[in-house]
Amino acid sequence: MSKSKKFFYIILTVILLAIISFIPIPYVIESPGTAEDVSQFLTVNGTKDEEEGTLRVLTVYVEQATVLTSLKQFFKHHEILPEEKVFGNYTPEEYNQLQEFSMRNARSKAVRVAFETAGKSVESKVNGIFVTRVDQNSNFRDKLKVGDIIETIDGKRLENTDESLEELQDYLSSLKPGHYLSLMVKRDGKPQLIREQLKMNSRTGRIRLGFDGEIDEDVTSDPSIEFDPHGVSGPSGGLMFTLEIYNQITNSHLKKGHNIAGTGTIELDGRVGRIGGIDKKLVAAIEAGATVFLAPDDEITDEMRERYPDIKTNYEEVKEAAEKLGTDIKIYPVKTLQEAIEILKNL
């Protein structure tokens, strides 16, 4: 073989290897993300918190794996996971929509819970029901999309009261299989009418809506709270957002100079919920110099144990991760916002 041909084949091989290396594969790489100061994400009446000390919101970095980047699984604190374990049955676009909504929802809940815990009131405007899932066996599967906002159901609009929600739930419970359900939906800012027949749930004998959703609302308060998410998405910052807001509107001085990290969703009753990737969030907290870590002490139901026999609470997971890392960061289990407040008061 001539030198020119040999050189050509070498170059061709290099090009092919380069192309193959960047081909996406159905896996994602998870690694420690950031540990940001929550006070940089929000203002109260246009003013940032200047109290000494830090409350940190934690993230996990997720990237689409390629043939080349899959080698990162051998790096410290990196993990390769099948796409379905992270995205579930959602497309990447649907997953991103859900994460963005979850962040908006977490912010609204944080404001409401912080103010109510402080004995203050808020006002809310319900936009509708954000569609979080569409059953593939439902008649709505080709019409309704994740991210749609349902404004009315059979002409009934969800208002800003618990009674309105109960009335809507009672109405839906009264419907029979075969009923044609009319949904006024907003998609990409444009209204759209969707009408489809309800099926029967063979297990319960009652109707099956064929989709799930969560209330989408805007919450306003006095003093006003403004958010700048800095590209962070998902619901796991709920606890830390709530603590920061509560601390500022009550002048509780909970930080006291401490570097405090934490994670967990926040529910309207003040419960702290389970999140993913807590072992990687611990690494991010340690790298940011945090000395205190608040971890969800979430409830494990019998159904969850049956489905995942080896499941642990977030607190158990992070304690196990801390032992492996040999860190002396103080880890506290929290079930509710009030527990977290009491922990910080006693630091």
Q: What mean pLDDT is predicted for residues 74-92?
A: 87
Provide the token pair at 53: 């000390």
Mean pLDDT along residues 263-279: 95
pLDDT of 1 > 60? The answer is: no
Listed residue (72, 55, 74, 54) closest to 63, CA to CA: 72
Model confidence over 184-212: pLDDT tens digits? 999 998 999 999 988 877 776 777 888 89
Distance CA 347, CA 335 (A): 18
Q: Catalytic residue, from 108, 221, 236, 280: name it.
A: 236
What's residue 343's pLDDT?
98
- Domain limits, the chain: 21-123+219-345, 136-209
CA 304 to chain centre: 19
Fold of 136-209: Pdz3 Domain (2.30.42)
User: In the chain, what percentage of residues exceed pLDDT 90?
Assistant: 58
Q: Is the pLDDT of residue 39 over 80?
A: yes
Residue 4 pLDDT more than 70? no
What pLDDT is attached to residue 228?
86
Where b means 16+ CB within 10 Å and e means fewer, 21-59 reads eeeeeebbbbbbbbbbbbbebbbbeeeebebebbbbbbb
CATH architecture of 21-123+219-345: 2-Layer Sandwich (3.30)
Q: Are 340 and 239 a contacting pair, CB within 8 Å?
A: yes
Domains 21-123+219-345 and 136-209 share a fold: no
**pLDDT at residue 150 in the model:** 94
Residue 281 bears catalytic tag: yes
Q: What amino acid is encoded at 131 in this protein?
A: V
Mean pLDDT in residue range 221-242: 88
Average pLDDT over residues 242-250: 96
- Which residue among 109, 255, 280, 281 is the active-site one? 281
Mean pLDDT within 59-75: 86
pLDDT of 134? 92
Q: Which helix (H) or strand (E) holds 95?
A: helix 92-117
Catalytic site includes residue 236: yes
Q: What is the model's pLDDT at position 162? A: 64
The mean pLDDT of 228-237, rounded to a whole number, is 82
Q: How confident is the model at residue 164 (pLDDT cuts 50, 70, 90)?
A: confident
